[in-house]
Structure 1
Amino acid sequence: MTTTSYGPDVIFERQAGSAVSRNSGEPIPSGKGFGSVFTDHMVRIGYRAGEGWHGARVERFGSVTVSPAAAVLHYGQAIFEGLKAYRAPDDRVLLFRPDANAARFQRSARRLAMPEMPSELFVRAVEELVAADRGWVPPTDRGSLYLRPFMVATEPFLGMRPAEEYLFCVIASPAGGVFSGGSGAISVDVCHDYSRAAAGGTGSAKCAGNYAASLPALHRALSSGYDQVVFLDAARQADVEELGGMNIFFVFRDGRITTPPLRDTVLAGVTRDSVIALAGAAGHPVVEAPYTIEQWRADATNGRLSEVFACGTAATIVGIDRVRHRDAEFTVGDGGAGPITARLRTQLLDLQYGRAADVRNWVRAVP
C-alpha cells in the first residue's frame, strides 16, 4: 500500500498495482451504453458509529460484499450523487461544482438518518478516483467521465433503527450522450397514476427508493415510444414537478422562464441551480412558481410557450418537444431544441470543459 495525504484528516491508501492502465486517446470500450462500462478503480471508505470515517482507499474496481442481513437490503438506507469530470482543451481534468454535490449528499444523509460525510472528504474521494483513472476521461467534446458516489447501510441488523455501519464508494463510467436522436429534444409521457414523491417524504433527497418508485411509469413510457416520464404533484395530480431524473424549465415567447419551485417533493438539481444563474445573466430571469399540466398544454397550443427543456448531470440540458397527456399528444414550439435551450446548453458545456471564463468559481481542476 501507498498513502496519499490531502490534509491532516484525509488520507487515502492506494492499492498496490493500481496504476492507470489506459490512455485518454484510446477508444472507450464498447458496451450496452451509458453506465455499463466502468473504470479500473473505485474508492471505498467505511463508517462505524463511535469510530467515524475510516479505511479510505483507492482499489481495483470489483464487487462489494455485504451480509444478507445488511440494513440497506431490508430498510433501504441508500443515497447517491452524480457528477462528471471533463477534459479541457489544455488537457486539465475538471470537476463542475463538486462542493454542491457534497452539500446535497449531506442533506440526503440527514433525511435518511445516515452519517453526514464532510464536504472535504467527499470531494477528495472524487478527486482520488479521477486522478487514478485520469486516462479514462475522454478528449474534449467527445464525452465525459460520469462519477457515482454512493453510501449504503452495511450493519447486519434487522431491528428498526438507523444502522451504525456504512460503506461509501465512488465508481466511474465514461459517458457520451444519454439520449440519442437528431432533434436535440426528447419526448415525454405525463404520469397521472403514480407519484414520484409526496409532501413530507424523500423527494428532495437523492435516495435509491425515489428512483425505484419511478420505474413502473418510466417503463410504460419507454414501452410506448417516449424517452422520459413527467411526474405531477401527489396531492392534486396537477402541478408539474420533475422528470424521473431531471428538473424541467418552461420558456415563453416573451423571454420569461419558469421552473417548479423547490419543496420536499422536488430534487434541488446542481444543473438546475446553474441554469437559473446562467439564464439570469443572459437576460432571462427564472421565476420559480407552480405550473400545471393544463397550463403547459394550453400554452403550447396557443403559442405562448416556445420551448421546454429538462436538465440534469447525465443529460446536461435537453429540449422537450413531444408530450403525451392522457390520450392526446401535443408538441412544444417547432419541435426540437429551441434557441434559448441551445444557448444555455452551449454556455454550460463551455464552462464544464474549461472553454469559458469561470467567474463563479464553479470549476475545480483535479490535482
Structure 2
Amino acid sequence: MNAIGPAGFWSYTHRDDQLDGGRIRRLAEAIAHAFEMTTGDELHVFVDNTSIAWGEQWRARLDSALTSTTFLIPIITPKFLKSQECRREIITFSGHAASLGLDDLILPIHYVDVPQLTEEDSGDEVVQLISRRQWVDWRQLRLEDENSPEYRQAVNQLALRLKSILETPPASGPILVPSSSAEAADQPGFLDSLAEMEIALPEWADTVQKFGEVLESLNAKTQASAIQMQQSDARGGGFAGRLRVTNELAADLGAPVAELAQLGSRYSAELSRIDPGIITMIRMIGEGEVTEEEEASAREIFGQLTEMIVAAREAVPNLQGLSEGAKVMASGSRALRPLMNTIQTAVQQVVDGQTIIEEWGRMIDELEGPKTGS
C-alpha cells in the first residue's frame, strides 16, 4: 500500500485494546472517518505496527518530506510507558519531526490516567516528550458510549484539530541549515553540528564505560549482601537479621545508585538535545546539500558513531538484566524500593538513548545504498 496524503500512525499496546474491547482501534477508525467528513480528504490510519504495510509506510514517511503530513497519535496508558516498542516509536518520530520544525505532529491521547504526565520533574524521557505537548484528555471519554453525543463531538474536535495543524504553516524550519547559507548565519551550521558530535562521541563512550563500572560495583555489593543474609539465617537471625542486612545494603548502595542516575540522565538528555540536528545532517548528505569536504568530515564521524552503537548495544543487555533484578528486589523490600526504582529509571534512559543512536545508524547505513552480493 502506497498511501499518499495525510497519514496517522496509531501507537498503542495491543493488550490495552484487548482489555478495552477493541475501543482503541475503533477510535482510530472513527477519527479517520470524521477527518474525511470534515475535509473531503482521506486520512490513512495505520494501526497494526506488526504488519508489513505499517513498517513500510513508517520508514517511507520518516525518510521523506512527507513527514510534514504525517501524524503520530500515541494512546497513553500505563502499559504504553512500559512498552519498549511504543517508546521507540515516539522517540524516533519526535526526532524526525523536530528536525523539520514540526513538533505539533505528535498528538498524544491520554487514555488511562498516567500520573507522571502532571509531574514537573519526571526523569522519563518519553513522559517529557508527551507532557511538552498539548495532549487530549480521553480518560473520562473512554468510558462514554461510543454513540453518545459527548463521544462523537470529541472525535469530531480531534479531527478538526488535525485539519487545523495541516493548514497551519510550521512555526520554524529544520533545526540544521548548511553552513554556507548566508541567510542563516546565526543558526548552527553543518560543521557546527559535526564539531558538537565529535565532542559528544567520546563523552557517550565514557558514559557507557562508567555504566559498566557502576554495574560491577552494584553486583559486588548485592552478592556480598546475599552472603551476609545466608550467614544471618545460619545463625538463626530470623527476619530481624534479614532486615538488618537489607538496611545495610540500602545504605551501601546509595552512592553508586546516585551515580547511575546521574549517568542515565546525562546520557539521555545529551542524545535528545542533538538528535534533530544529526537527523537533519544525515538527510542533507543524502539529498546532496553539502560540500564534498563537509560530507567527508561527516562520514569520518559516522565511522566513530557506528563503533559507539555497537559498544552500547553490547552493554544494554547487562543493564536490562540489572533492571529486572532491581524490579524483583524492589518488590521484596521497602528499604530498597526507592533505590531499585532509581536503577530502573536510569536503565530505561540508556535504552531510550539507544533508540536514538540506532536510528542514526539505520539512516547512515542507507546513505550507502543497497548492498549487492558478489
| TM-score (normalised: structure 2) | 0.24
More helix by share: 2
Higher strand share: 1
Larger Rg: 2
Query: What is the TM-score of this pair, normalised by structure 1?
Result: 0.24
